[in-house]
Amino acid sequence: MNDTDQIARQGVNLLAHQIVKMGLIFREDTISDYGIDGQIEIKNEAQATGRLIAVQIKAGSSWLRKNTEKGFWYNISARHYSLWTEHSLPVIIILCDIENEVCYWELISKENCVSTGDNWKILVCRSNIIAPTDLSKLQDMASPIVAASDYTICSESDNSTGNAKRISLEIIAHPTSRSITKPTLAAIAREALQLGQNSEYARDAISAKVHTGKQADVVWGYVYMREIDRTSAAWVCRFQWISSKLDTEFQPTRIKGENIGNGLIIDWNTENILAKHLDSRRETKASFLAKVDNLIALLPPVQAMLEQINQQGELTAATRHFSQDANEFEQSWDDSNSPPQECQRLDQAIAELLAIIGNAGLIWCPTQSRTLKNTLSLSRSYHKKLVKNNSEISFLRDDIK
């Protein structure tokens, strides 16, 4: 091992140590070098969440020479700029100071990169350190969580052989309250993979006898945006997972694409316009936070009206207007664009806020059939949730500088 390789190995070891201290998981990608050296997985207490961050690691003093008072400039080639800003996972660059045992990081995004003509550069801030103090920042930017309502598995097939259990899936993604982005579709692929791995479907009695109770050895799938796209094979992305325990003799041909963790490969349909421009409607940090601040400014009178209704405990003129005001508040939020990666947790809290006020407005709708007692009980419950949610939003907003 030469000096360069030794320093690189020291950087990986230092990062892995710091990540463990944060209570997270680090997995090095040793298979191939496509500009991604590994993934960080977020944990919820002792449980892995499947929420990932891709990392590129650079170790040694040579990467810290272009320094300023705020941080260190890192040069990015045009090829890596495209790879990282269009990746299925959020990508961070990590500069490892071996001597002082410090790892600096920065999210690689179109907003953070500065053009140098043919190439790009990014300022890795001194204030961003892989340490427990930055845990919430990493949690905010990790790949999103998807719900069961975000997609439908419309076809499940058993293509097993006697030596390998092989399951294929066809999936329709649903654009719900959030815009569909590449990270969201990658999260759908990860959720579908788990279902495929644990599938008990068998095409016939023979396959059932051989493979029932056994985890799948191979899972692949196709993700579509519409049902009609299935007939023309206009998939947005396809994915493939092959168990590391499966003998190479029985492994299918591997598809080329991005390794998004745990051996799951995702391949984007570059001829599909949507696949090329899924992230084109992503909001900048400034515009998203301005929109959040405008929404927060509209909240106090709505919250005060709900509190007044609950205190009076009877039907009044205020109750007749609250349902309409709650609906107007809910409609004031424009969710046609996707939030920046580092604002994901704040966006989720905003979605919860809108749901709370929207539901509170529905129960006070003049056409509702509940008794006043039941309505008040629900209304007071929503008010408690609103107070708690408002506090969380304030905290998350202040934490994003």
φ and ψ of 50, to 5 deg:
80, 0
How many whole angstroms separate alpha carbon 88 and alpha carbon 186? 6
The class that CATH gives domain 3-141 is alpha beta
DSSP conformation letters of 337-390: SBPPGGGHHHHHHHHHHHHHHHHHHHHTSTT--S-HHHHHHHHHHHHHHHHHHH
- Return the percentage of the chain with pLDDT > 70, whole number: 93
Q: What is the mean pLDDT of residues 187-206?
A: 93
300's tokens: 């106090």
Give residue 31's pLDDT. Answer: 60
Beta bridge partners of 222: 170, 238
The secondary structure element, H or E, covering residue 28 is strand 25-28
φ and ψ of 41, to 5 deg:
-110, 130
Banded pLDDT at 104 (limits 50, 70, 90): very high
Banded pLDDT at 276 (limits 50, 70, 90): low
Count of CB atoms within 10 A of residue 160's CB? 23
- Please choose, from the candidates 154, 178, 176, 156, the residue with its C-alpha nearest in 3D space to the C-alpha of residue 167: 156
Can you tell me which residue has the tokens 């909240």?
A: 299
Give residue 205's pLDDT. Answer: 92
Residue 62 pLDDT more than 90?
A: yes
Higher pLDDT, 286 or 1: 286
How many whole angstroms separate alpha carbon 144 and alpha carbon 151? 14
Q: What is the pLDDT of residues 252-267, one digit of tens each?
A: 999 988 888 788 999 9
Give residue 9's pLDDT. Answer: 92
The answer to whether 264 and 375 are in contact (CB under 8 A) is no
Alpha helices by DSSP H, listed for 126-253, are 135-141, 182-197, 205-211
How many whole angstroms separate alpha carbon 239 and alpha carbon 197? 13
Higher pLDDT, 216 or 358: 216
Domain boundaries, the chain: 3-141, 148-276, 285-399
Pairing of strands 47-59, 91-97: parallel
- Please choose, from the candidates 39, 173, 185, 138, the residue with its C-alpha nearest in 3D space to the C-alpha of residue 345: 138
How many whole angstroms separate alpha carbon 356 and alpha carbon 328? 14
Q: In what order do the strands lie in the sheet containing 113-115?
A: 71-76, 120-125, 113-115
**Among 30-39, 250-259, 322-331, which is the least confidently predicted range?**
30-39
Give residue 91's pLDDT. Answer: 94
How many whole angstroms separate alpha carbon 59 and alpha carbon 75? 14
Helices 285-312 and 317-331: crossing angle in degrees, nearest 10, is 170
Q: Highest mean pLDDT: which of 149-153, 169-173, 181-185, 319-323?
A: 169-173
Q: What is the pLDDT of residues 344-399, one digit of tens each?
A: 788 888 988 988 988 888 888 777 677 888 888 888 999 999 999 999 999 988 88
Beta strands in 203-320 (DSSP E): 218-224, 237-242, 258-259, 265-268
Dihedral sign (CA 58, 19, 125, 56): positive
The answer to whether 74 and 63 are in contact (CB under 8 A) is yes
Give residue 116's pLDDT. Answer: 93
